């Protein structure tokens, strides 16, 4: 059975670096982590499947009065995708010194459910400017801890990603960034595997 990671971008912008990082994660997983130098040190890594969440722009504004059955369809779909994932990987820009409203809205819709609870989670911060987006990722950490997600420190990484290393297909070609993304994917898998064997 494959290990499923849901990839969630905090950007709805075309050509987003964050979305490119997550698209690269999907490509690396599809290629096979067992074929990377890092994964060779973990020969038990099984197939990793990813899906990219596409509904950020369609979520309604959070309203506690609507956070009950029947849920708005986009919210029900979001929670279903989270529930069906074994782990979550985020990447988000910082707008005006804070988390984008669209991502904050998504996270608010998860608080009323239990889908994220104890779910291995991490992020890739691709900002190329030192210290950029730190407040956003601190805020993301706070919200994820509130939802009782299981943050995996080895999957919470900064990987500076200039636009110049993203190809026309929206895939990162820089080897150092690709290695960081691979590390995050493997860290999420290992966290789930260690939980499964009781270690």
Per residue in 14-23, pLDDT (tens digit) is: 999 999 999 9
Kindly report, residue by residue over 68-89, the tens digit of the pLDDT: 999 999 999 999 999 999 999 9
Kindly report, residue by residue over 157-184, the tens digit of the pLDDT: 999 999 999 999 999 999 999 999 999 9
**Least confident among 58-62, 73-77, 97-101, 193-197:** 193-197
Among 8, 41, 27, 11, CA closest to 187: 41
**With 90 as the cut, is the pLDDT of residue 132 above it?**
no
| pLDDT score at 115 | 95
| pLDDT score at 184 | 96
Q: How far are the Cα atoms of 82, 85, 177, 179 from residue 70, in angstroms, in the given order?
A: 18, 22, 42, 42
| pLDDT score at 34 | 56
d(CA 173, CA 165): 6
The answer to whether the beta carbons of residues 105 and 62 sit under 8 Å apart is: yes
| pLDDT score at 29 | 92
Model confidence band, residue 103 (pLDDT cutoffs 50, 70, 90) = very high
The residue that leads in pLDDT, 141 or 48, is: 141
> What global pTM score does this model have?
0.92
CATH of domain 3-196: 3.40.50.360
Among 81, 98, 179, 167, CA closest to 133: 98
3-class SS string, 110-178: HHCCCCCCCCEEEEEECCCCCCCCHHHHHHHHHHHHHCCCEEEEEEEEECCCCHHHECCCCCECCHHHH
Rounded to the nearest integer, the mean pLDDT of the chain is 91
d(CA 136, CA 9): 13
Kindly report, residue by residue over 178-188, the tens digit of the pLDDT: 999 999 999 99
| pLDDT score at 2 | 84
Domain ranges of the chain: 3-196
Average pLDDT estimate for 81-108: 96
Model confidence band, residue 41 (pLDDT cutoffs 50, 70, 90) = low
Model confidence band, residue 43 (pLDDT cutoffs 50, 70, 90) = very low
Kindly report, residue by residue over 3-37, the tens digit of the pLDDT: 999 999 999 999 999 999 999 999 999 887 755 55
| pLDDT score at 40 | 53
């Amino acid at each position: 059975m494959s290990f499923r990671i849901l990839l969630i971008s905090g950007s709805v912008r075309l050509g987003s670096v964050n979305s490119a990082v997550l698209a690269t994660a999907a490509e690396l997983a599809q290629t096979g982590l067992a074929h990377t130098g890092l994964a060779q040190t973990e020969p038990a890594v099984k197939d990793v499947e990813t899906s990219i969440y596409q509904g950020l722009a369609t979520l309604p504004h959070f309203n506690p009065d609507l956070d009950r059955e029947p849920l708005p369809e986009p919210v029900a779909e979001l929670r279903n995708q989270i529930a069906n994932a074994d782990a979550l990987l985020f990447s988000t820009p910082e707008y005006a010194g804070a988390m984008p409203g669209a991502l904050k809205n998504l996270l608010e819709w998860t608080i009323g459910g239990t889908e994220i609870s104890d779910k291995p989670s991490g992020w890739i911060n691709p900002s190329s400017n030192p210290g950029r987006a730190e407040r956003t990722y601190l805020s993301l950490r706070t919200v994820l801890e509130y939802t009782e997600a299981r943050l995996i420190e080895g999957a919470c990484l900064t990987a500076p990603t200039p636009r110049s290393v993203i190809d026309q297909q929206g895939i990162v070609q820089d080897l150092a960034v690709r290695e960081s993304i691979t590390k995050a994917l493997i860290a999420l898998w290992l966290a789930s595997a260690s939980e499964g064997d009781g270690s």
